[in-house]
């Protein structure tokens, strides 16, 4: 299939702010296509840069109770000279353990290198289905 995914990020602690639009073609667990990103102070202006992007996503269930999801997205945005020599990425994982039919314990993590900044994020939480 083909998918389109908009995303807004404002990670003030790292100075990373953008609005991006991904449009990609998927084949099995791999996606490839283009990303348009606006990192201007006004992220909703028309100052977008478009560059190649790739990704991979995998999900597996173990013993009908534990779900493991892993995804990778890579981008080739232009540098200051306009050349596509930089590589940026977002690696994400989520491990979920189904405690009951309505309660799930999860661990979520992300390691990223975006706009020249490297950072990580982690969460532990409980999902409750109502």
Question: Are the C-beta atoms of residues 103 and 128 closer than 8 Å to each other?
Answer: yes
Per-residue pLDDT tens digits for 15-70: 888 999 999 999 999 999 999 998 777 777 888 889 999 999 999 999 999 999 99
Helix (H) or strand (E) holding 103: strand 103-114
Assessment of whether the complete model's pTM goes beyond 0.85: no
Per-residue pLDDT tens digits for 58-78: 999 999 999 999 999 999 998
**How confident is the model over 100-129, as a mean pLDDT?**
94
pLDDT of residue 15: 86
What DSSP character marks residue 40? S
């Amino acid at each position: 299939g083909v998918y389109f995914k908009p995303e807004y990020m404002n990670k003030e602690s790292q100075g990373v702010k953008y609005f991006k639009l991904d449009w990609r073609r998927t084949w099995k667990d791999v996606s490839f296509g283009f990303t348009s990103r606006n990192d201007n102070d006004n992220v909703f202006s028309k100052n977008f840069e478009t560059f190649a992007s790739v990704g991979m996503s995998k999900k597996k269930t173990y013993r009908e109770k534990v779900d493991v999801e892993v995804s990778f997205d890579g981008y080739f945005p232009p540098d200051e000279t306009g050349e596509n020599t930089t590589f940026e990425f977002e690696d994400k994982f989520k491990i979920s353990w189904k405690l009951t039919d309505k309660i799930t314990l999860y661990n979520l993590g992300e390691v990223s290198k975006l706009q020249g900044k490297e950072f990580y994020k982690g969460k532990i939480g409980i999902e409750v289905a109502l």
